[in-house]
Structure 1
Amino acid sequence: MLQYNRYIFILFLGFLSFLPLGMEAQVDFNKTPNDDLGEVEDKKQELFFEALKQKAIENYDRAVTALLKCIEMDKSQSVFYYELGKNYNKLKNFGAAEEALKDAVKMEPTNEWYANELFDVYMQQKDYKRAIRTVEDIVEYHPKYKEDLAHLYFDNKEYKDALKILDELDEKRGVSSSRDHLRNQIYAATGRKKDQIENLEDRLESNPDEETNYLALIYRYSESGDNEKAFETAKKLLEIKPNSELVHLALYKFYLEDGQTQEAIESMKIVMGSLKVNPEAKTMVLSDFVNFVKEHPEYEADLVEATTLNLDSENGKSYEGVANYFLNKGDKPKALEYFEKAYQVDSGNFGLLKNIMLLQLDLKQFEKVEAKSSDALLKYPSQPLFYLINGVALNQLGKFNRAAEVLETGLDYIIEDTKMESDFYNQLSLSYTQLNNTKKAKTFSDKAKQLESTN
């Protein structure tokens, strides 16, 4: 019996640690009875402890039974109704949970724990209107929930009320990225792009030294098709903050469209060398740079320089973009150089590995191909292409026995690819021809011809 009482005591202490400050004073189960009510207090204590124990082991029905008996004995304790509501909520008995929690909130309207549990009951039923009313009550005593209320208004399509709260919070606390995100969602949902721009213009006017205000306004002007204002805003930012790097994400495009080629190239170089610009944005800029150089090959040296300025070691796509440019141009050595740089950054990229080995084959770098394809087969043991590449390299290096062995192994991994299968047979025919096994050489040659004739 002593061990059981000790367990219950520890369990109750754990419960008290989760109650709001002051709540534990509501039910003084530790006072020494000094009148005829002592027996009642003992019984309440026993029932309340039993309810906590049953809830802890997820016997919510039994917890409810114990709590109802507690309330029958004493209707003045809000914590009884709170715990009763929580257990009903667990049982998905939302009607009973609501009633119990409303009683708790009525007794202690400033208690955010009670209101939060009632809010959860409404949210589980997707009853947004009553959930909003609950949070409105919480906000009256706990203003920190105001931003949550704005989100609820948004979810319930009460956009005007949501914007009103965001304006109040911005005025009181200053702007924040989370509120701006919600504000932009509201403008997008309502199509109020003009209001969105006016809000940003007001911000810029009240705080003309804040770089983010310019950048946000440039983006919104561009999005609405007002490139002239966007360009003017970008140039104004550059005047105020000549060391700004992020502004060049917008400037390079405006310069290109305005025919200011040299300025555009300088802006692109600043972007590529910036530590503030993320890899995705750099990839986008480099793609534009590559497309520009395709039309104006005289600026190829600037493109190469821009990639050397790229200080972001995780941006393998930048190198890959330049590699594809040189590949399309027919400059295979340069393409290989940049594919290898990209692979150093992104060694798990299957496509890069394939491109490197195919270019090495074209450039007759057979020893490198053999080594790289052997490593690739350890990593990708079921990829038939790498068996084929390895077999080609081995044939070119005169290692015909090994080539035949690798190629025959790789055949087992081909799935519905007659072109690749034909390539395998041609290489096997070459291997066996060099090994003076004319019978096998002819067999594989005939198989290759048969597949080629059906294509």
Structure 2
Amino acid sequence: MKKVRYISFLIFFLASFISFAQEEINQNEVNRDDLGDVSDQFQEHFFEALAQEAIENPEKAISALEKCLKLDKSSFAALFLMGKNHAKLEADTKAESYLMKALEQAEADQEKYVHQVLYQLFTQNKAFEKAIEQALILSENNSNYQQELINLYHITKQYDKALNQLQQFDQRYGYSDSRDQQRFVIYRSQNDEKAAISYFQNRLKKNSKDKNAYRFLNRIYLNRNEFENVIDLSQKAQQKLPEFVDVLPSLSLAYIKTEQKDLAKKYAQKTLNNPMIAEKEKVEVINAYRIYAEQNAEIKQDLISLLDQAITSEKNTSSQKELGNFYKEKDQEKALGHYREALRNKPNDFKLYKEILNLELYLGKFEDALNTSEQALSVYPSQAIFYYTQAAALFELNQTQKSIDQLEMSLSLLIDNTQLKLKIYELYLKIYQREENAEKMKLYQEKIKRLKE
């Protein structure tokens, strides 16, 4: 679909170009036959470039576009497509040069497309200051780039700008879990927990039922070993929000750390018995209680009781996963069995899917890998890794074209993952070695070499 939309977009600009050229011919009363051949030649070369790009032959697309530019060196469409294809070949300097030339020729409604490609080019090359320039332009009409600006300011350690951008976002759209999480991470990057405490305390003054404010304040207080503050804040949260279970793990940890035996056991039980609390937090409470029990022999029986409850409430998911990790290097078949059992109890676990697929491919269980990939994609439809595992299984099952289709999907969804990109290129190389396609083999050998440098 992306390719179809992209080609449609370029065809639109080609049509605009041809229309404009025809008007010029009429205005200057030039012999239509004389210039008609030029226009036809341009169109022929340009559509050849589109066709070559669609089948991932950027070199041939560039060759056709060079012929276009000999006919019209100021063609926006040709310059733009030249930039795109050089970017595919990772000829970044040339890509930037052509895109900048395209920007000079662009109409007002065309500029955003060039800025988008430049933004992608700069972020991929980690030229973050240049990417910020493009994101600032694009963010004027697209809120997605406002979020990208926050990310870029964070990466480049421009924390105040990132926080300011977050504030603008919150004022316009209201608070969100993801932005609160990012704000929290930025404060930690600054080593400025006091500023974070002040911010979330002010949130609570404005709204005493602000759940995220309670969540993040508790995390900060726990990190600072301010356990009395955790207890006080959590008790206030329970008064204002009686059904708010997120404070239970924090209370458990605070009572454990302050060695309030009865309350520690009470709130640990509440945490472990509540199906709304994430397994990760339950494991954290169990680990803290285990350390507490090692230091206090008289409560070891309480620990055994709590662990029994954890196994029952979680259907032994944690134990199954731990057994899988244990056997992964020793007995892959056993490891696979334990991972699969854990996945039955927790069917949305991203890491479990990855572990299972790695083992299925390693053990040559390609039909199983195909089915597991399909199952994973039903839960995580935008994860590039699962399109890759599906492509790998299809390749081994001699379904080459389907394998290529899934690799294209994987590559289109890939974001800043060099290791996975290398695996994708290596699988492309295997496919074209099987097909004895020397041209494509050379292309991907060069891509692999550049990626490893």
TM-score normalised to the size of structure 2?
Answer: 0.60
- 1:155 matches 2:145: no
Mean Cα displacement is larger for which, 230-239 or 70-79?
70-79
Q: Distance in 1 between matches of 2:49 and 2:306?
A: 72
Aligned to 1:208: 208
Aligned to 1:183: 183
Cα 1:347–1:129 shift into 2, 3 Å:
closer
Cα 1:22–1:50 shift into 2, 3 Å:
closer
- Structure 1, unmatched stretches of 5+, are 1-12, 321-345, 350-455
Aligned to 2:234: 234
Q: For 1:119-130, list aligned pairs within 5 A.
A: 119-130=119-130
Contact 2:227 2:257 in 1 (8 A): no
What amino acid is aligned across from residue 228 of structure 2 in structure 1? E
Contact 1:29 1:41 in 2 (8 A): no
What amino acid is aligned across from residue 155 of structure 2 in structure 1? D
Q: Distance in 1 between matches of 2:113 and 2:318?
A: 50
Q: Distance in 1 between matches of 2:124 and 2:337?
A: 46
Aligned to 2:266: 266
Cα 1:298–1:145 shift into 2, 3 Å:
closer
Cα 1:65–1:252 shift into 2, 3 Å:
closer
Q: Distance in 2 between matches of 1:208 and 1:303?
A: 38
Mean Cα displacement is larger for which, 226-235 or 265-274?
226-235
Alpha-carbon distance, 1:347 to partner: 6.8
CA deviations 1:351-404 (Å, max 9, x no partner) are xxxxxxxxxxxxxxxxxxxxxxxxxxxxxxxxxxxxxxxxxxxxxxxxxxxxxx
Contact 1:60 1:87 in 2 (8 A): yes
Q: Distance in 1 between matches of 2:187 and 2:240?
A: 29
Aligned to 1:348: 338
Contact 2:256 2:289 in 1 (8 A): no
Alpha-carbon distance, 1:236 to partner: 0.5
Aligned to 1:282: 282
CA deviations 1:58-84 (Å, max 9, x no partner) are 543443343233234335542221101
CA deviations 1:80-113 (Å, max 9, x no partner) are 2110111222343333322221122331455433
Q: CA RMSD of the aligned region, Å?
A: 3.6
Alpha-carbon distance, 1:224 to partner: 2.3
Contact 2:61 2:85 in 1 (8 A): yes
Q: For 1:352-371, list aligned pairs within 5 A.
A: none
Secondary structure, in 3 states, of the residue corresponding to 2:37? helix
Q: Distance in 1 between matches of 2:197 and 2:11?
A: 45
Cα 1:291–1:245 shift into 2, 3 Å:
same
Q: Distance in 2 between matches of 1:31 and 1:63?
A: 23
What amino acid is aligned across from residue 297 of structure 1 in structure 2? E
Aligned to 2:16: 26
Q: Distance in 1 between matches of 2:265 and 2:282?
A: 14
Q: Distance in 2 between matches of 1:316 and 1:52?
A: 52
Cα 1:21–1:151 shift into 2, 3 Å:
farther
Contact 2:7 2:50 in 1 (8 A): no
Contact 2:87 2:95 in 1 (8 A): yes
Mean Cα displacement is larger for which, 87-96 or 24-33?
24-33
Contact 1:272 1:307 in 2 (8 A): no
Q: For 1:5-404, list aligned pairs within 5 A.
A: 14=4, 17=7, 19=9, 23=13, 25-28=15-18, 35-36=32-33, 37-74=35-72, 77-106=75-104, 107-108=106-107, 110=109, 111-258=111-258, 260-292=260-292, 295=296, 297=298, 300=301, 304=305, 307-308=308-309, 310-317=312-319, 348=338
Mean Cα displacement is larger for which, 117-126 or 203-212?
117-126
What amino acid is aligned across from residue 311 of structure 1 in structure 2? S
CA deviations 1:293-335 (Å, max 9, x no partner) are 56263783685277347422144549x9xxxxxxxxxxxxxxx
What amino acid is aligned across from residue 48 of structure 1 in structure 2? F
Contact 2:184 2:216 in 1 (8 A): no
Secondary structure, in 3 states, of the residue corresponding to 2:313? coil
Aligned to 2:403: none
Aligned to 1:401: none
Contact 2:203 2:210 in 1 (8 A): no
CA deviations 1:159-206 (Å, max 9, x no partner) are 222221111112222233333333233222221111111121122222
Counting aligned pairs with the same residue, the percent is 26
Q: Distance in 1 between matches of 2:132 and 2:245?
A: 43
| Higher-Rg member (1/2) | 1
What amino acid is aligned across from residue 239 of structure 1 in structure 2? Q
Q: Distance in 1 between matches of 2:69 and 2:299?
A: 87
Alpha-carbon distance, 1:57 to partner: 4.8
Cα 1:227–1:146 shift into 2, 3 Å:
same
Q: How many residues align?
A: 313
- Structure 2, unmatched stretches of 5+, are 27-31, 323-335, 340-453
Contact 1:139 1:146 in 2 (8 A): yes
Q: Distance in 2 between matches of 1:347 and 1:104?
A: 56
Cα 1:292–1:77 shift into 2, 3 Å:
same
